[in-house]
Amino acid sequence: MSRFLLKRIQVAIGIDVVLNNIFKTNFDKNVLLVYIIDPFIYSANFSVHQAFDQVRIIAKTFSDLGFNVDVIDYRSNKIKLKKQYNIVFDICIKNNPIYAKNIKSDTKRIVYFTGSESDFANSAELERIKDVKSRRGVELLPRRQAPLINSEVENCDLAIMIGNEYTFATYKDFHFKRTALVPNTGYDFSFVFDKDIKKATSFIYMGSVGSVHKGLDLLLEVFCELGAPYKLYVCGCYEREEDFVKEYYSELYNTDNIVSVGFVDIKSDKFKKLSEECAFTILPSCSEGCAGTITTCMSAGIIPICSRICGYDEDEVIILDDCQKQTIKQAVIDASDMSMADIEKKSREVVELTRKKYNTENYYIQMRKAIEKVL
């Protein structure tokens, strides 16, 4: 039995594990990567999220810089570490971290943020929950309440974040020694320039858990009011949220211009067909880092419309000034009024932007530049 198969079994049954020296190198320096371990115990081609590719790149970056790389899951609490680390790269800084006895006085600590500041994000979601109650008289469950960020992050030598200056500003109450921004990553879809003409009035929503947080409730109400010819394809994990589905059942399943798709594999023919059908993707989220579903859709030539907090600049996407229903409705109408020539031109531009900026090569370059700030 290979060591990775054994680790996979241990993880499956809930045993905390350490992946020691994943590249089998012989350097004189060690780094502990505290993030997710699944990407290292499954095939290199196995990926269910951009984070899988990115954590592998982070590990490779440290190896290229001359560090032996150990990896543990950020949720681990019964780990026995045997090394002293020169660097710790941690996505979830705690007061008494599991590696406290394995760092030296000169150990460099890096914290990694992949979303907006948690108090900001939590408050934004609760405000959205309140808005649903005022509109429809039902109080849905919050789905994305995150632990508050520990002030210990201010003692880290570097804070790295996925996003832009706008999303980094949500951390205004924290004072970091050094900061760095890195881009999210998209995909290199081979089909992107070999597709049928899109429909200007077709839109796709893609989102993970937290439908109210992501603004799906607003989109369902807007498209229900708009009716034909405007069409919304709803993709994601919303079906896991029983209270949300119960409240929005009619919009999701009994509305002619709303198609409930559910989870869709972005490497499937289904996603390719959706990318051919839809000219635009829309995400009126209340809090993100640099929304991964946007880079995914951009990679497929789908033009993004999103809230400013999604982490993109105005010259990259169509920005919603706010997430009021009337603003969203007008954005849908204005986008649909674009000529097919302009849509095709903009579609090519977002693909080119993704391949230039939101790609794994640039992620590696920017991550390496960030890490080198503390070396």
What pLDDT does residue 1 have?
A: 41
- Answer yes or no: is 352 within a domain: yes
pLDDT category of residue 13 using cuts at 50, 70 and 90: very low
Q: Do 352 and 252 share a domain, yes or no?
A: yes
pLDDT category of residue 7 using cuts at 50, 70 and 90: low
Task: Work out the number of other CB atoms within 10 angstroms of the CB of residue 56.
Answer: 16
- Answer yes or no: is 135 within a domain: no
Between the alpha carbon of residue 349 and those of residues 158, 239, 254, 316, 342, the distances in Å are: 33, 33, 36, 9, 10
**The CATH number of the domain where 219 resides is what?**
3.40.50.2000
* Closest C-alpha to 88, from 7, 23, 152, 170: 152
Beta bridge partners of 113: 161
- Answer yes or no: is 192 within a domain: no
Q: Do 298 and 279 share a domain, yes or no?
A: yes
Q: Is 333 helix (H, G, I), strand (E, B) or coil?
A: helix
- How far apart CA 26 and CA 363 sit, in angstroms, is 26
Which residue has better confidence, 161 or 12? 161
What pLDDT does residue 290 have?
A: 94
Question: What average pLDDT does the segment 83-97 reach?
Answer: 94
Q: Do 282 and 262 share a domain, yes or no?
A: yes
Q: Do 163 and 209 share a domain, yes or no?
A: no
- Answer yes or no: is 306 within a domain: yes
| Containing structural domain, residue 163 | 3-113+150-183+359-372
- Answer yes or no: is 16 within a domain: yes
202: left (phi over 0), alpha (psi -120 to 50) or beta: beta
For 66, phi then psi, to 5°, come to 95, 30
pLDDT tens per residue, range 99-123: 999 999 999 999 999 999 999 999 9
Return the half-sphere exposure (C-beta side, CA atoms, 13 A cut-off) of residue 143: 21
Q: Do 170 and 253 share a domain, yes or no?
A: no
Structure tokens at 291: 């929304």
- Answer yes or no: is 139 within a domain: no
Residue 333 pLDDT more than 90? yes
Q: Do 286 and 241 share a domain, yes or no?
A: yes
Q: Do 207 and 100 share a domain, yes or no?
A: no
* Closest C-alpha to 126, from 238, 286, 240, 283: 286
Q: Do 221 and 333 share a domain, yes or no?
A: yes
In this structure, the chain runs to a length of: 375
Which residue has better confidence, 3 or 92? 92
The overall average pLDDT reported for the chain is 93
Q: Is 187 helix (H, G, I), strand (E, B) or coil?
A: coil
Q: Is 112 helix (H, G, I), strand (E, B) or coil?
A: strand
**Range 213-234 burial, b when 16+ CB lie within 10 A, else e:** bbbbbbbbbbbbebeeebbbbb
- Answer yes or no: is 131 within a domain: no
Residue 43 pLDDT more than 80? no
Question: What average pLDDT does the segment 303-312 reach?
Answer: 97
Beta bridge partners of 179: 159
- Answer yes or no: is 188 within a domain: no
Structure tokens at 152: 């210990």
Q: Do 281 and 252 share a domain, yes or no?
A: yes
Q: Do 154 and 242 share a domain, yes or no?
A: no
Domain count, the chain: 2
Question: What average pLDDT does the segment 199-203 reach?
Answer: 93
Q: Do 85 and 217 share a domain, yes or no?
A: no
Question: What average pLDDT does the segment 248-276 reach?
Answer: 96
Question: What average pLDDT does the segment 10-25 reach?
Answer: 77
**The CATH number of the domain where 101 resides is what?**
3.40.50
pTM reported for the whole predicted model: 0.92
Q: Do 60 and 81 share a domain, yes or no?
A: yes
